[in-house]
Structure 1
Amino acid sequence: MTELIFHNRTKSEGKFLYFPQEVLDIDSEIDTSSLSKVQLDTLKCISYAFQMKDAENSFSISDLADHFDIVLDTFRNRIRGLEKLGLLEPIPFRFGNGDKGGKVTCITFTTGSNSTEANSKKSQPIVRSSISDKSTNAALIASKRKASSELCAGYGLAIPPKQVLDQSEKQIIRPKGSFPIEQIVPPGKVSKKSIANSFKVVTENGTVDCKVRVFSDSRIMHASDLQNLLGVYTLIYNYHEWMLDSYRTEHQFPLNQTPVSLNHLLRIRGMAPNGKARERMRESIGAIYDTTFDLFDLANLAFIDDTLEPYVRQRYKCFEQCTPLVNTGTTGAPRIEGDRVIFGENASLFLISLPEHIFKSLLSSNYVFAFPPSSLSSPALIFSLYLRFRSRITSNKQSKDNNATYVENLKKTYSDMGATSTFGNFKTTLVGNLKQMNKANDEHCTSSLDEDNQVIYFNLWGYHGSLDLIDLTLSVDCHLEEMLHCCNVTSSSMKRPTAQNKLTAGLSFHEKMNELIFTDAARVLKPVLRRTTVTYLCVKDRKMVLTKYNSKDEIEFAIKVIAKASTLPIGVVADRVSSDLKGLRGLYIGDENRELNHDDMDTLLLLCGLKYKFVNIVDLIHSLNKMTSIHRDIEDVVWNGKSPSSKLLQVTQLFIDPTLTGQQGIAHSPTINLPSFD
């Protein structure tokens, strides 16, 4: 055989298969009756590799093991077993850079002595090996995966690769902004299909309890499902990050429908992808999709956080759509069982659409919230407790230990978390979960029991606390640096675990991203546009009013203040303010209805002896636009070089605002009085 050269491979990818043949039909080429079930399954895996081979007709052994969720060492042993039978043989090759294979082997399928013709001449058949009950049904898996891949392609999507899983295991994320679902879902399973609950909302009148009704046709989602939901957010985020190169090449923008791998979700939850685990995960995804939240009480509250606005509707769901990708032409077709329609019970891939505001935030917000990767594999009650600490404890960088203490009675914790069990069961479960934390072998998730004083000391990813089993009191400190480190956040200037959103910059090439950012900026800045002014309401206790006659320095100063108050990138705020100012009208005079530009207004005020910072420019524009009797006088001053008439001088003095005298603020506006910006 002529020596092969592989240009697209490296030694780090390890042993691989090579397929020189145009057609591979294992069943017709060899006598399979003498092979064990495990050997047949391994050959089916090889058939799948033939179908999915790359441009150089090759496929890595490690990738093949990953595709079928087989432990790599186990799969290598199976491959070696086929080599001993003569069904696979090594062939010489070298890499494109001139390196020889070394320890890396290239193997190809061959019928060898096990061909159909050779075996027909044998008088003694080979004794068939025993079948392991735990062996993977590779043929079925290959069929499902091929069908899922084809269905993904039908939506113009690619099946999620291992790179998506690798990135997702490094950091768990969710979109920025308020997320009341974290407060609403109960920590444990609920037998009822409808419950009432409440969550805290900060309003203009203080913090209040907002009532909510939760219901589902199957079952209500709980804290374990919330862990799965964060896993879904993470996989969706990393899938679109992996697709960035393709989006740039094709000048495409992500659609709000993303393929999510069941096996990937199990991996980041710390679960082995076996049959039972997959069944439970499918059931959980169904519960997330079915659970509906009636947040009607929000509409009656003057809440401060504008990110709550998308939840002001009676029927909020965490998934807009959730479609199992299965071949409906076979056993995957929907069927009726009793009063239920069964669909997707064997799906390994789901096509998920998020609520529009969640998906937009995932793409266009400047940052995302980060969580410890190991938090998704913790008990649901421990995860709920961690979320509670995150929302209630603010680290104090001025304190000696960079922490702040939070104390709470355990009965209040039980009540606020909406636990559906009795308090006694809640306490027993919590104590048991805290005692078992050390089994996770996570140095940032530990516990110890002081038996003499009956106190459990614990560390939940930077939240160090104690539970007094006699007084039933929780006391918790936030160790800021450790808390951020556990979330893979490295910036020492942060007080919250947030990470830079890579999708925002990665998708900046597309005009739709600019539209999203622009729309999001408008929602946060809350601009009120009039004919001659724009007012921004995002700065607490102040109205930021601008006209088209503000100076460059004044506008830049306003942008800094607005950006700090809104937490938006200063460039986004600048673009939004610039766009708003372009749409404003100024002072129009004369028969030709000619508008005064910025220099013209400077000339008018200067020759009339007025100073910008003492003039109510808003009233001046409104009034002079209507006072047509002095328009000729203004024309003479601004464009004809004449001195102002006594009438014009008298009129313009009316717009001196004594309340602005001696105050530091942005000129032209009686409503702005800002402190120095640092």
Structure 2
Amino acid sequence: MLEFKNRDATNGSFFYFEGQQIDLEVLEKLSDQSKSVKPTLSAILAAVELKDDESTVSTSTIAEKMGITIKALNDRLRQLRKLNFIVELPFVFTGEKTFKRRTMCFAVQFEQESIDNVNSDIEKKKTEIKKLAVKREFMRKAQKEIQLGDRPDVSNKLPCIVRHSNSFPIEQLAINGKDPRTKMAKKFYVTSEDGETKTVLARIQSHSRILDSDDLQVLFATYTLIRLYHEKESETHFLNGTTPNKLTPVYVDDILLVQQRALGGKSRRLVRESFKAIRDTEYDMYGLTNIKTKDGNLSFYGERRFRNFSECIPLSEYAPEISKDYSDVIFGDDSMIYLIELPDHIFESLMYNKTLFAFPTNSLSAPSLIFLLYLRFRSKCNNSDKYDDSLKNLNKVIAPSKRLGDFKRSLITSMKRLSKIDDPYLFSRIDTETNEITFNLWGYHGKISTKENYLTIKCHQKEVVAACGLDTSKQNAPTKYNDLYSNFAPLMQIDKILPKNIERIIKKDVTKYTVTYKHPSTGNTSAPLTVYSDSSEINDAVDFLCKSYGFEIALVEPKIREDIEKLSHFTVKGHSVTKDEYLTIKYICDASGLDGNGFIRAFFRKTSLHDELHTLILGEVDDLEPSEIFCKHVRSFQ
């Protein structure tokens, strides 16, 4: 074992250069593209000239010569050790009594295998870069082909966070923490028209995972971006007399920018996982319902089903595939753009309501547990009200999968993280002696005792409004005027003056699956529309009716969409084929010219292919490869 008498642990780690045969020609074989590897090795070898009597050179000396910090050099040395360019040698200091030290002795070694591994990794990275370039080109073409509008710019100025002004029980049903369950039941509370608080039960289920507080922040970012997108498109709609298309492009990177998170592979993956959870989570809500009849009001208990997204379509260049355990279909793991359609009442609220609920800009970058607390405070008190609760109850409501002790630790950790956010309306102080947390969450001032397990807050209403970026001299609640309302209000007025006999004016043929419009005199017809029709097919039908009847676009488009909603999906072996599944069949059969009507005609009578169609769309085989007979038949209906 090596022994050094002129050094000790206070001198730090060092290199030992005695008796090593280093072939510098091998170093020249290392690719110039190896970033820090080659220059770091060169600097280490150059340090041979600085070795002392024991043939050692301190790493701090090498860092100084390179003009970098010792921490940066240590990071590079860890990389060199992984690549086997340097090794750690066993040693002792003369007179050393303990071996509990962090000082290391390094030696340089060159092996052709290490050189080959680095060069191979560089070639792999070059290939990945080329793939990314191809992917970006694919997304650019896809964006152009489906005529996506201009992307809102959120990179320079963060937008005000908004959501629709409708009742939104999802705020109460979201949980903190990744819960392994795919089914659960919860209750939430609503205020009736007569001011009474009523309990509603909800059954929550998802075939992937249930929406949690992290996903809820992504959902709020999605609402904000959808409104921004249509705000940018509103002038075009106003000039053309059109209303917004519900299917809206949302960019993964824009979600991260709104949340003030770093752009990167891991962050993008988390957003995609959130989109999947938001899309998959379904809510069955049970409660007392009132229906007006001609004889009065009828009260009974009923059920209502809700999903946050009506459509959530990832744009991907890769075909779907079955997971290794056959439990799922993998699709969209590379997607950077999602086409999202919100439920009608939510979308219309974002577009046409006079006001929207506003939230602090930093609320989506704060820990998700803090976000849930803030939402709970907003629902529980306002106008200088006070609100008290036990931590046990709070734990049960917003983090049911956590034990009380774990929940309190999460609270403390989340409160500590607030110090990293630059926000005048955000503050926390933790007193370790009394086990108390004093805080301000955007106007809600309070105290938490982790010892006595209670929480108390008081609402400072003006501060709540100011924290949302609103003018307190004009606003007394955290609501924001919806600029889209003034843009779209004139168009929406058209709905009120639509001719009552429009159904009799427009001639059309309607079947179970299709609707076809006719010219009033020539008998010419539009292409049949189905539930699978895309925006370009719908636009063609709009253009046909406008030219045939002299109607405005804003009058015709809603009517066509209403007709389409009344049509049925094609059913195979009891399964209703979705639009995504129809598009998958187009893709795997290389039938880009196939429309919805052609798809239905292809399989309406060809029952001999129903088994294969059913297998393909449900992913019941190891690969999604259709037979040649199947593909040839599908392509014949293009």
Q: Does 1:382 align with 2:363?
A: no
Q: 5 Å matches for 1:468-479?
A: 468-479=449-460
CA contact (8 A) 2:316 2:332 kept: yes
| In structure 2, C-alpha distance between the alignment counterparts of 1:467 and 1:134, rounded to whole Å | 50
Q: 5 Å matches for 1:540-579?
A: none
Q: 5 Å matches for 1:77-96?
A: none
Q: Does 1:201 align with 2:190?
A: yes
Q: CA deviation at 1:432?
A: 2.0
> Of residues 303, 312, 315 in structure 2, which corresponds to 1:322?
312
Letter in 2 for 1:335: E
CA contact (8 A) 1:294 1:314 kept: yes
Q: CA deviation at 1:498?
A: 0.6
CA contact (8 A) 1:159 1:259 kept: no
CA contact (8 A) 1:324 1:351 kept: yes
Q: Does 1:482 align with 2:463?
A: yes
Match of 2:429 in 1: 448
Q: 1:129 to 1:214 in 2, by over 3 A?
A: closer
Q: Does 1:246 align with 2:236?
A: yes
Q: 1:137 to 1:272 in 2, by over 3 A?
A: farther
1:271 is paired with a residue whose SS is coil
CA contact (8 A) 1:184 1:418 kept: no
2:141 is paired with a residue whose SS is helix
Letter in 2 for 1:216: S
Match of 2:140 in 1: 149
Q: 5 Å matches for 1:386-405?
A: 386-395=374-383, 403-405=384-386
Q: Does 1:500 align with 2:481?
A: yes
Q: 5 Å matches for 1:30-45?
A: 36=33
2:199 is paired with a residue whose SS is strand
| In structure 2, C-alpha distance between the alignment counterparts of 1:224 and 1:145, rounded to whole Å | 28
| In structure 2, C-alpha distance between the alignment counterparts of 1:133 and 1:455, rounded to whole Å | 53
Q: CA deviation at 1:443?
A: 2.9
| In structure 1, C-alpha distance between the alignment counterparts of 2:160 and 2:127, rounded to whole Å | 30
Q: CA deviation at 1:257?
A: 0.5
Q: Does 1:360 align with 2:360?
A: no
| In structure 2, C-alpha distance between the alignment counterparts of 1:222 and 1:261, rounded to whole Å | 21
Q: 1:290 to 1:494 in 2, by over 3 A?
A: same
| In structure 2, C-alpha distance between the alignment counterparts of 1:222 and 1:291, rounded to whole Å | 10
Q: CA deviation at 1:301?
A: 10
Q: 1:285 to 1:517 in 2, by over 3 A?
A: farther
Match of 1:515 in 2: 495
Q: 1:159 to 1:340 in 2, by over 3 A?
A: farther
TM-superposition CA deviations, 1:213-249 (whole Å, max 9, x none): 0000100011110000000000000001111232233
| In structure 2, C-alpha distance between the alignment counterparts of 1:516 and 1:164, rounded to whole Å | 36
> Of residues 289, 292, 312 in structure 1, which corresponds to 2:282?
292
Q: Structure 1 vs Structure 2: percent identity of aligned residues? A: 35
The worse-fitting range, judged by mean Cα deviation, of 292-301 and 351-360 is: 292-301
Q: Does 1:426 align with 2:407?
A: yes
Letter in 2 for 1:235: L
Q: 1:174 to 1:239 in 2, by over 3 A?
A: same
CA contact (8 A) 1:257 1:353 kept: yes
Runs of 5+ unmatched residues, structure 1: 1-33, 39-127, 303-308, 396-402, 519-678
| In structure 2, C-alpha distance between the alignment counterparts of 1:172 and 1:369, rounded to whole Å | 8
Q: Does 1:345 align with 2:325?
A: no
Runs of 5+ unmatched residues, structure 2: 1-30, 36-118, 293-298, 499-638
CA contact (8 A) 2:190 2:197 kept: yes
1:273 is paired with a residue whose SS is coil
Name the Cα RMSD after superposition: 3.2
> Of residues 356, 361, 372 in structure 2, which corresponds to 1:373?
361
| In structure 2, C-alpha distance between the alignment counterparts of 1:136 and 1:445, rounded to whole Å | 45
Q: 1:136 to 1:389 in 2, by over 3 A?
A: farther
Match of 2:589 in 1: none
The worse-fitting range, judged by mean Cα deviation, of 133-142 and 185-194 is: 133-142
CA contact (8 A) 1:450 1:456 kept: yes
| In structure 2, C-alpha distance between the alignment counterparts of 1:191 and 1:433, rounded to whole Å | 22
| In structure 2, C-alpha distance between the alignment counterparts of 1:136 and 1:493, rounded to whole Å | 57
Q: 1:222 to 1:157 in 2, by over 3 A?
A: same
| In structure 1, C-alpha distance between the alignment counterparts of 2:127 and 2:442, rounded to whole Å | 37
Moved over 6 A (4+): 132-136
CA contact (8 A) 2:183 2:203 kept: yes
| In structure 2, C-alpha distance between the alignment counterparts of 1:213 and 1:353, rounded to whole Å | 23
Q: 1:240 to 1:467 in 2, by over 3 A?
A: same
Q: CA deviation at 1:343?
A: 1.2
TM-score, normalized by length of structure 2?
0.55
> Of residues 178, 189, 193 in structure 2, which corresponds to 1:189?
178
2:167 is paired with a residue whose SS is coil
Q: CA deviation at 1:509?
A: 4.2
Q: CA deviation at 1:409?
A: 1.8
Q: CA deviation at 1:439?
A: 2.1
TM-score, normalized by length of structure 1?
0.52
2:172 is paired with a residue whose SS is helix
| In structure 1, C-alpha distance between the alignment counterparts of 2:127 and 2:287, rounded to whole Å | 51
CA contact (8 A) 2:150 2:229 kept: no
Match of 1:409 in 2: 390
Q: CA deviation at 1:138?
A: 4.8
CA contact (8 A) 1:152 1:259 kept: no
2:214 is paired with a residue whose SS is helix
Q: CA deviation at 1:133?
A: 10
| In structure 1, C-alpha distance between the alignment counterparts of 2:386 and 2:315, rounded to whole Å | 48
Q: 1:277 to 1:315 in 2, by over 3 A?
A: same
